[in-house]
Amino acid sequence: MSTTRNRSILDAVGNTPCVELRHVIPQGCARVFVKLEGLNPTGSYKDRMAKSVIEEAERRGDLKQGMTIVEATGGSTGSSLAFICAIMGYKFLVVSSDAFAEEKLKTMSAFGATVDIVHSPSGKITPDLIPSMRQRATELSQGDDFYYADQFSNPDVLVGYEGLGRELLEQIPEGIDAFCGAVGGAGMIMGVAQVLKNNLPNCDINVLEPASAPALTKGHGGLHSVEGIGIGFLPPLLNGELYDHTLAIEESEGRVMARRLAKEEGILAGTSTGLNVVAAIELARQLGPGKVVATVACDTGLKYVRGDLYTVA
């Protein structure tokens, strides 16, 4: 029976499917489940945090109609914030870079955002790129008419991802022995970890980073091309009490896995998802049959089809 409730596209955020991987998991491993976050409206899990960041700021009265939201972003958070701002009637000023996928920059413009570009001479995500984007966003957000969303330090981000954790608990009633996720601002893994640790205290939480930018495992950043993660500094939201291990994963392995996920599992996702699944399989190998590992497909690979993810080995 149809409902008479006036549905909003905001209702399309979250409640993503959770699937078990069938073909890329070697014999003798634990089961591996993946949340398909690319099915959120702008194609990434960032829709969850954009919604919570705006809703929480409005609820406190920090954000009012007529104000302009400002953010520094590689483009996933920016696309999500631009989407929410379009629905809720806010202007959005975004600082990004040409180191990130053109699809994301164009998506933000399509939703009506003003995009300010910090040029990356190497075209790579260097350790100073995100800090200089944040510096610019801080400068641009001076004044009472601006609200700096500040995804890297804003705890409102976590509220959105707690929903992802609750969905995992419902969708995997067998229980979850280990969860892993690559970190940028660390919002996703911290929001999910909060819920998993509360409900499954023995669940092993694993934080991932690209091996060539080992800020968490070795204390220094480095060059890489995995969009959204490896930001070059310790994310302020990363809470050491909520995770158990940190793993550095080779970007090349993540890229190979992203291609295998498309060809063998029908999951078209980005490189950070490839890293997540490489790590999930390693955990599944260690845990063995009868156990369960969960991770997320962070975004849709449609964001990367113009780049070299699916074409260069």
Ligand X SMILES: Cc1ncc(COP(=O)(O)O)c(C=O)c1O
- Rounded CA separation 118/206 (Å): 32
Over the window 26 to 55, marking each residue x when it contacts ligand X by CB under 6 A and - when it does not, the resulting string is ------------------x-----------
> Does 76 contact ligand X by CB under 6 A?
yes
As measured in angstroms, the least distance from the Cβ of 231 to ligand X is 8
> Does 14 contact ligand X by CB under 6 A?
no
Scored b (16 or more CB within 10 A) or e, 22-61 reads: eebbeeebbbbbbbbbbbbbbbbbbbbbbbbbbbbbeeee
φ, ψ of residue 207 to 5 degrees: the values are -95, 135
Please report, as residue ranges, which positions from 145 to 184 form the binding site for ligand X (by CB under 6 A).
182-184
As measured in angstroms, the least distance from the Cβ of 45 to ligand X is 7
| Candidate residues 188, 267, 281, 284; the one interacting with ligand X per rule CB under 6 A | 188
| Candidate residues 43, 74, 78, 221; the one interacting with ligand X per rule CB under 6 A | 74
Residue 299's nearest CA partner among 9, 101, 126, 125 is: 101
The nearer residue to ligand X, 30 or 269, going by C-beta atoms, is: 269
As measured in angstroms, the least distance from the Cβ of 179 to ligand X is 13
| Candidate residues 78, 165, 228, 254; the one interacting with ligand X per rule CB under 6 A | 228
The nearer residue to ligand X, 163 or 185, going by C-beta atoms, is: 185
| Candidate residues 169, 299, 301, 307; the one interacting with ligand X per rule CB under 6 A | 299
Residue closest to ligand X when measured from CB atoms? 228
| Candidate residues 225, 272, 295, 300; the one interacting with ligand X per rule CB under 6 A | 272
> Does 225 contact ligand X by CB under 6 A?
no
The nearer residue to ligand X, 141 or 273, going by C-beta atoms, is: 273
> Does 222 contact ligand X by CB under 6 A?
no
Q: Among 78-86, 87-95, 221-229, 259-267, which window interacts with ligand X (CB under 6 A)?
A: 221-229
> Does 227 contact ligand X by CB under 6 A?
yes
The nearer residue to ligand X, 32 or 298, going by C-beta atoms, is: 298
The nearer residue to ligand X, 183 or 287, going by C-beta atoms, is: 183
Scored b (16 or more CB within 10 A) or e, 246-255 reads: bbbbebebbb
The nearer residue to ligand X, 151 or 291, going by C-beta atoms, is: 151
Binding site for ligand X (CB under 6 A): 44, 74, 76-77, 182-188, 227-229, 270, 272, 298-299
